[in-house]
């Protein structure tokens, strides 16, 4: 391996992307990270420091936007690989499915076209379990052979992930001659937070710790540590056999929210004082959701059981995910530390400001 091959990582300020950058730098690659605005580069550097990276000699930043095709040719120039993590955040006033689906699909195609033109060897696409296990009910764990079936039960986000992943495979088949594609489909992502930007699954743990979640909704789904997701991206980029394959990232088969809260209470002592101890019947949550918009987001998932298997990644790529207990505790401890540090900073700023005012 030429130790200084260059990898473009898209959406460089995101949770998964920042850990992909850490994995690449630690393995001797140069990284070019895309940001919608270069103003975010200091934030990314502070996240990487939190993740143990102190030299930025092999890291550069480039401005690119998933809504703007012309920005990608410059971004991908001189890169041998692309890890495409960025997914467009649809405008917060997204009214229609198209507001989710079109930018996601176009974004993937813009990146794939630019990568092909630049002579990139392989693209690793971050898809999601959302492209695997929705629109269907299975009693056995989902595998890479499964695809979300697009019907009225599938939410726009999962629809956008399914359509954009299929667009990537179609591109490779029809226009990508000579370029390779591998896809990673993470389940719920946990792991140590590096900044304010963290996944929905981590929000659940945060709400358990701060007492916002009084009881656990009945939902069983798969989870994985962000460090293992990054490692799987790295393996999917570097191992020849990964070409043309998709890989589900999950540790174990699935956990309920109550399982997670039990791990927190068992290990964190007083810090877990506010963590819920019981499950809440689904009908109560549905009733409360009439008055509470946060709960309304949860209701479609109530009673859902989505188990998945990572047997393929373990067998083909020798992937070794951490135990869920280790990952849950790493998430919780980092949240506690991060929130404490933030609180101290806020108090210091407030104190300084008050004293400057007097």
Q: Which pair of tokens denotes residue 225? A: 């540590």
Q: Is 187 helix (H, G, I), strand (E, B) or coil?
A: coil
Catalytic, out of 105, 161, 206, 218: 161
Q: Residue 261 and residue 332: Cα distance in Å, rounded?
A: 11
Q: Residue 189 and residue 70: Cα distance in Å, rounded?
A: 32
Residue length of the chain: 358
In which element (H, E) is residue 327 found?
helix 324-357
In which element (H, E) is residue 235 found?
helix 226-238
Q: What's the distance, Cα to Cα, between the start and end of the chain in Å?
A: 62
Let me know if 161 is a catalytic residue: yes
Q: Which residues pair with 34 in a beta bridge?
A: 62
Say if CB 236 and CB 184 are below 8 A apart: yes
Say if CB 187 and CB 250 are below 8 A apart: yes
Q: Residue 179 and residue 326: Cα distance in Å, rounded?
A: 37
- What residues are annotated to the active site? 161
């Amino acid at each position: 391996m030429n130790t200084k091959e260059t990898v473009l990582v898209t959406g460089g300020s995101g949770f998964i992307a920042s850990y992909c950058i850490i994995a690449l730098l630690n393995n001797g690659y140069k990284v070019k990270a895309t940001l919608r605005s270069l103003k975010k580069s200091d934030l990314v550097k502070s996240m990487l420091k939190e993740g143990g990276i102190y030299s930025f000699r092999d890291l550069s930043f480039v401005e690119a936007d998933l809504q703007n095709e012309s920005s990608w040719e410059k971004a991908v120039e001189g890169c041998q690989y692309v890890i495409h993590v960025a997914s467009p955040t649809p405008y917060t006033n997204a009214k229609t499915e198209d507001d989710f689906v079109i930018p996601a699909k176009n974004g993937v195609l813009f990146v794939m076209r630019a990568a092909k033109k630049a002579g990139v060897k392989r693209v690793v696409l971050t898809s999601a379990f959302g492209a695997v296990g929705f629109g269907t009910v299975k009693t056995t764990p989902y595998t890479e052979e499964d695809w979300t079936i697009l019907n009225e039960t599938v939410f726009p986000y999962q629809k956008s992930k399914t359509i954009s992943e299929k667009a990537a495979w179609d591109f490779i088949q029809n226009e990508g001659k000579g370029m390779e594609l591998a896809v990673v489909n993470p389940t719920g992502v946990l792991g140590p937070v590096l900044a304010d930007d963290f996944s929905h699954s981590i929000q659940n743990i945060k709400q358990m710790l701060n007492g916002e979640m009084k009881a656990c909704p009945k939902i069983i789904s798969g989870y994985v540590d962000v460090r293992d997701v990054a490692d799987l991206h790295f393996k999917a980029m570097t191992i020849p056999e990964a070409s043309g394959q998709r890989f589900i990232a999950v540790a174990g088969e699935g956990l309920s929210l109550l399982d997670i809260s039990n791990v927190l209470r068992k290990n964190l002592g007083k810090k877990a004082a506010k963590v819920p101890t019981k499950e809440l019947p689904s009908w109560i949550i549905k009733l409360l959701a009439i008055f509470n918009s946060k709960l309304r987001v949860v209701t479609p998932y109530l009673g859902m059981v989505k188990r998945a298997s990572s047997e393929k990644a373990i067998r083909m790529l020798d992937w070794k995910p951490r135990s869920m207990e280790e990952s849950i505790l790493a998430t919780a401890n980092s949240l506690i530390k991060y929130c404490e540090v933030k609180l101290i900073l806020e108090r210091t700023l407030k104190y300084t400001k008050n004293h400057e005012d007097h």
